[in-house]
Amino acid sequence: MKRIPVAGPSITAREIDYVTQAVTSAWYGDAGMFHGRFEAAFASHCGRRHAISLPSCTSALHLALMALDIGPGDEVIVPDATWIASVAPVRYVGATPVFADIDRDSWCLSPEAFEAAITPRTKAAIVVDLYGSMPDWDRLNAVAAANGVALIEDAAEAIGSRWRDRPAGAFGVMSAFSFHGSKTLTTGEGGMLVLDDETLLERVQRLRDHGRAPGDTMFFNEEVGWKYKMSSMQAALGLAQLERVDELVDGKRRIFSWYREALSDWNGGRLNPDVDGLYNSYWMSTVVLDREIGMTKEKLIPLMRQEGIDVRPFFYPLSQLPAFRDTPEAAIARDRNTVAATVTPYGINLPSALSLTKDDIERVASALKKLTL
């Protein structure tokens, strides 16, 4: 029986050609030949002035927080339902993460919960575009502006998504992307930080290169920084993928449309958000089961895997993870974040690899129906 993967990229001759060029030519004086092209094209895609290629989205968020001088004594609001990489950098800089509830319709940060979580110590919020969905950015921006809170967009999962015709990556003071091997656009591992502010740009460039000023050729370190750089081969792969980004996003949306068609007669749950103003790129086609059928993700996932179908759990609430659950902030979150607590136990990411066929999707849908009767 063919095993159906949960994620996987689309690689063509273009990617192979660009990476081969990088391996053979992108050294010494030409080491940045693909970085500049990739960064310029990516900034343009997001409607931003600048883009900085990095080894991961996690490093992008880390640099964003440091550039904003966030540290001990500061609070950073994050949605309770997201991957740990969205919040780990808050701990890296010594700040306190505050877990706010998600919206039931979008699965992203609730504007009401965001506003309720703000205190005099709140310096920023990391706003996650979950699984390709996006929050109500209009309302979040209004709340942030009224309270002097900086917004950082975690668009790791949302390349190709749009909110009221503005692309993911266009929101907040800075936006971070992931190019992990599971993502719609991949460099194997990698990330990007996009922004407009020149002062923040200079700060990020210095911090990501061991504290060297941008353009330094004397190896003169003005402070201790980090080594957060992308390789030439990754940049080449990313540029080739970006030149095909519309095709890649169309592939994700086509997969979702096949699920919607195959599950049109199924009443056991609901698929990804389709809210007003959102153009969803559907990085991961996802289903949240109805509680009434008595099936949680912990029960369903091993059964699907027995059918030869790889699936993933909807992210656990951060406030329930061992990494955070003993903190006072997590205890508060578990009491008040009712949507995260009632949605996440019943969610699974369905196979969404770009190589999947309509027959594959129909097989997944048939197994899901059979197992949730």
The set of catalytic residues is 183
Encoding tokens for residue 240?
């080739």
CB 365 within 8 A of CB 262: yes
CB 245 within 8 A of CB 159: yes
Kindly report the backbone phi and psi dihedral angles of residue 55, in degrees, each rounded to the nearest multiple of 5, phi listed first: -75, -15
Beta-carbon contacts of residue 48 (< 8 Å; ≥ 6 apart): 169, 170, 175, 194, 195, 196
* Beta bridge pairs of residue 188: 180
d(CA 182, CA 199): 33
- In order of 33, 78, 118, 364, the CA distances from 135 in angstroms are 36, 13, 18, 28
- In order of 100, 117, 160, the CA distances from 112 in angstroms are 9, 9, 26
